[in-house]
Structure 1
Amino acid sequence: MHTNQENVSATLTVAMPVANVFAALADPTTHSAIDGTGWVNEAVNQAPLTEVGQIFRMDMYHPNHPDGDYQVANQVQVLDPPRAIGWLTGEEKGDGQVEFGGWIWRYDLAPLGPSETEVTLTYDWSAVPPSIREYIQFPPFGPEHLTNSLHHLAELVSAR
């Protein structure tokens, strides 16, 4: 686990080929199983992530959210199969435009041979503006979330 002022990351070796790990991360329907907080409910958009700029929505739940249940819109920012994938998280406004909060989730994958992959998950909030930092503390979860997510990812790809 590594933390600095603006991001936190964790690394885990997964006993699966890099292509299998990447395929799980590029499938929005797996994200609720991978999530270490329990906030992600299910994918609204279930198409695989295939291009930078693609937007996919997730149904969420958080007890401290004003509505409890809510939806996020994620935009793919990094897509380098099978080495890296990442997305910005935001929300769709009433006019249909998506407004991003400035935080990004990124997975970097390094093959350690034909059947092992080193996965690093980074949560970076360096681009979050002061107006959002006034009401959300960053990171909004404990550091164990990233480690939990990586263990969930390992369990998921091993079961596939």
Structure 2
Amino acid sequence: MSATLTIAEPAATVFAVLADPAAHAAIDGTGWVREPVEQAPLTAVGQIFRMDMHHSGHPDGDYQVVNKVAVLDAPRAIGWLTGSARGDGEVEYGGWIWRYDLTPRGPAGTEVTLTYDWSGVPRFVRERGIRFPPFGPAHLIDSLHHLADLAHRVSV
């Protein structure tokens, strides 16, 4: 599932917002993302960053996800796999990825496509009763509008 929006800011500005985990709660169109556990900017494929989350339908309500940067091509693309830490400390990724592709549109515009790809979700995860996607397309476009607002505030 994907959504696209042209943001009236340069790609470098938009990318900088996406690479800042502290901005993710404000970008999130679902309202589930709360706070980053680590504040470091995303700078390399393989980098791990954790986010505190809340969802009333989650068994714990409050929980934490472990994200692993899977794509980082500044300022053109950034994406991460989402998973959770098991009791033994190992991370189990669920098979979905969040990816933003940025295409410059003139000197001060960027077309941003946000993709939520759950094609790698294994059968045993789907059998836990988790519906994919767990939200509708409106959440993606909401996220892109939030990203546009943040990018504009950063550039002012």
Structure 2 partner of 1:118: 111
For 2:29, the aligned partner's letter is G
2:47 is equivalent to residue 54 of structure 1:
yes
Give the counterpart of 2:133 among 134, 139, 145: 139
Unpaired stretches in structure 1, ≥5 consecutive residues: 1-7
Cα displacement (A) at 1:96: 1.4
> Helix, strand or coil for the counterpart of 2:81?
strand
Pick one of 119, 134, 149 that aligns with 1:155. Answer: 149
Kindly tell me the number of residue pairs found equivalent between the two proteins.
Answer: 153
Identical pairs, percent: 72
Q: Alpha-carbon deviation of 1:99?
A: 0.6
Distance apart, 1:24 and its partner CA: 0.3
* 1:93 corresponds to: 86
* Structure 1 vs Structure 2 CA RMSD: 0.5
Unaligned runs of 5+ in 2: none
Q: Provide the rounded CA distance (Å) in 1 between the counterparts of 2:136 and 2:113.
A: 17
Which deviations, in whole Å up to 9, do the C-alpha atoms of 1:30-68 show, x marking residues without a partner?
000000010000101110001101010000000000000
SS at match of 2:9: coil
Deviations 1:105-138 (A, max 9, x none): 0000000011000000000001000111111100
Q: Structure 2: how far apart are the matches of 1:143 and 1:87?
A: 19
Please report how far the alpha carbon of residue 95 of structure 1 lies from its aligned counterpart in structure 2 after TM superposition. Answer: 1.6
Which residue of 2 is the match for residue 33 of structure 1?
26
Q: Give the aligned partner of residue 97 of structure 2.
A: 104
Partner of 1:16: 9
User: Per-residue deviation at 1:100?
Assistant: 0.2
SS of structure 1 residue aligned to 2:111: strand
Moved over 6 A (4+): none
What amino acid is aligned across from residue 157 of structure 1 in structure 2?
A
Query: What TM-score do the two structures reach when normalised by structure 1?
Result: 0.95
